[in-house]
Chain A
Amino acid sequence: MSEPIYQLDQVAKAYEGRQVLSIKHLAVQQGEILAVVGPSGAGKSTLLRLLNFLEPPSSGVIRFMGVRFGAAGSVPLSLRRRVTTVFQRPVLLNRNVQANVAYGLRLRRQQRGNALVEAALQQVGLEAMARQHARTLSGGEAQRVALARAMVLHPDVLLLDEPTANLDPYNVRLIEEIVCQLNREQSTTVVLVTHNVFQARRLAHRVMLLLEGQLIEVADTTTFFESPEDSRTRSFVCGELVY
């Protein structure tokens, strides 16, 4: 593994005095797929928001590509634009599919937008629907548009927040394949939040468990599932209700 793309030290996040995330140390390696698992309310989505710089941490330091960010100060736009997120529920603009996929490129005033959009739509299998209005899409199609909209930006880091929850097996498989392809061919670093331990096992190089905002364990996928160090990880992997 190469240099960590993210390094978190003593990072905590609190809302109205209630701490929801506290990570002593975490390094996300460049080009890896890191799955974040844990029950609801464990702080997984909060972690993604911090990694996408949508919110600052309450305390601690996040180093991204060697640049240090803390509770105060804003993240330069050029760095923020190296990361993007696909959320569980795709929020599409009230426009057609093509305009939705091109949205991020337009924000960046990027040339050659049409060719990139076409390529991204082809990759998610929606090139025939380019002119279709977003509100006519099924849930799976909408999520594929959201993925294409993120992919077209060629981000260094792709954050996925339960991207396949509530999708049918066909769309789940398609999205998983695209994510793996992105990681393999473009070395995109992927942080995947999922409730689905099987999905984490299928896709991730490493898996981490969050419980009540605490990082319990992070290990390579085989170790995490077959010989975890922490008893709580063992219980979680076995599907026992630990919290």
Chain B
Amino acid sequence: MEEIIQGFIEAVRLIASGDPGLVAIIVLSLRVSGIALLFSTMAGIPVGSLLGLSRFPGRKLVIALLYTGMGFPPVVVGLFVYLALSRNGPIGQIGWDALPALFTPGAMIVAQTIIAFPLVAGFTMAAVMGVDPNLRRQVRALGATRAQTVWTILSEARLGVVVSIIAGFGSIISEVGAVMLVGGNIEHRTRVLTTAIVLETRKGNFDLAMALGIILLALSFLANAAMLRLQGKTFDE
């Protein structure tokens, strides 16, 4: 209990002091997870919509793979990305500067995109499939084009689609194993909130670790609240 109270005090002190090291960690955490979420949303919503709205050979297999991906341990994703980006890996040996390298924020974004993608796509698919199937026929009967039909269904499923984005964000902002593996927790370069918490805990700085944890929770809460507001819903609904 003592640590928790001290953690709160330390968190308030750290935030109030505007410690540049802490600000850099927060900014990097939000940047890495924000960009990864953007990529996974850009890929996940179309894929989820396609799986929810169309029927094609191999669809069930794709869905099974997606569900597997939803439960995939992030540290294993980190391991795959590590192997792929390492000097002898399939991507690392290409040697292009444009490709992300290990122990850079780019590698962390790749890992987090892969972690969030199945969640965004899977929950979007479920949300789209939850929309009344007769709506599609009704919308077409009112003269909608194919694109307008898909947009209308996504709009009707917006609650579920926002939930998919929130789930994706939650999975990566709080993730530690993959970013630790591919980022390396290098000070001023790849240190994010979760890896900093691990480090401070190992060093026995429980107050600081707790403070970072509280900041992480607060950021996560604020991001989710903002997304809910964007969706146009209040917490009462």
For the complex, give the distance between the alpha carbons of A103 and B138 in Å: 11
Contacts of A149 in B (CB 8 A): 142
Q: Is the CB of A91 within 8 A of B135?
A: yes
- Asked if A91 and B132 make an inter-chain contact with CB atoms under 8 angstroms apart, the answer reads yes
CB-CB contacts below 8 Å: B168-193 with A: none
- Closest chain-A Cβ to B131's Cβ sits at a distance in Å of 9
Q: Give the number of residue pairs across the A-B interface with Cβ within 8 Å.
A: 42
Residue B143 at the chain A interface, CB threshold 8 Å: yes
Alpha-carbon gap, A150 to B145, bound state (A): 16
With a cutoff of 8 Å between Cβ atoms, the chain B residues found around residue A108 in the complex are 143
Q: At the interface, yes or no: B144 with Cβ under 8 Å from chain A? A: yes
Is the beta-carbon distance between A103 and B145 smaller than 8 angstroms? no
Mask: chain B, 20-48; 1 = CB below 8 Å from A; 0 = not: 00000000000000000000000000000
Q: How far is it, in angstroms, between the C-alpha of A104 and the C-alpha of B152 when the chains are bound?
A: 11
Over the window 98-133 of chain A, the binary record of Cβ atoms lying under 8 Å from chain B Cβ atoms (1 yes, 0 no) is: 000001100110000000000000000000000000
Determine whether A194 belongs to the interface, using a CB cutoff of 8 Å to chain B: no
**B137, A84: Cβ atoms under 8 Å?**
no
Known pairs A54-B137, A89-B134, A107-B148; A84 contacts B156 (CB<8 A): no
Please, which residue of chain A has its CB at the minimum distance from the CB of B133? A91
Residues of A within 8 A of B138 (CB): 85, 87, 91
Interface size on B, residues (CB 8 A): 15
A103 to chain B, nearest CB (A): 6
Determine the distance from Cα of A116 to Cα of B35 in the docked complex, in whole angstroms: 44
Min CB distance A104 to B, Å, is 4
User: Does residue B140 face the partner (Cβ distance < 8 Å to A)?
Assistant: yes
A54 contacts which chain B residues (CB < 8 A)?
137, 140-141
Note all chain A residues with C-beta closer than 8 A to B156: 93-94
Question: When the two chains form their complex, are residues A84 and B134 in contact, meaning their CB atoms are under 8 A apart?
Answer: no
- Interface contact A84-B142, CB-CB below 8 Å: yes
Decide yes or no whether A164 CB sits under 8 A from chain B.
no
Instruction: Compute how far the CA of A21 lies from the CA of B144 in the bound complex, rounded to whole angstroms.
Output: 26
For B148, the chain A residues whose CB sits under 8 A away are 107
How far is the CB of A13 from the nearest CB of chain B, in Å?
Answer: 15
CA–CA, A48 and B155, complex, Å: 27
> Contacts A54-B137, A87-B134, A89-B134; is A77 near B145 (CB within 8 Å)?
yes
A-B contact pairs, 27 of them (CB 8 A): A49-B137, A54-B137, A77-B143, A80-B143, A81-B143, A84-B141, A84-B143, A85-B138, A85-B141, A87-B134, A87-B141, A89-B134, A91-B135, A91-B138, A93-B152, A93-B155, A93-B156, A94-B156, A103-B142, A104-B142, A104-B143, A107-B142, A107-B143, A107-B144, A107-B148, A150-B142, A153-B143
Q: Which residues of B contact A (CB under 8 A)?
A: 132, 134-135, 137-138, 140-145, 148, 152, 155-156
Known: A85-B138, A107-B144, A149-B142; 13 extra A-B contacts, CB below 8 A, are: A54-B137, A54-B141, A77-B145, A85-B141, A87-B134, A87-B137, A87-B141, A89-B134, A91-B135, A91-B138, A93-B135, A108-B143, A153-B143
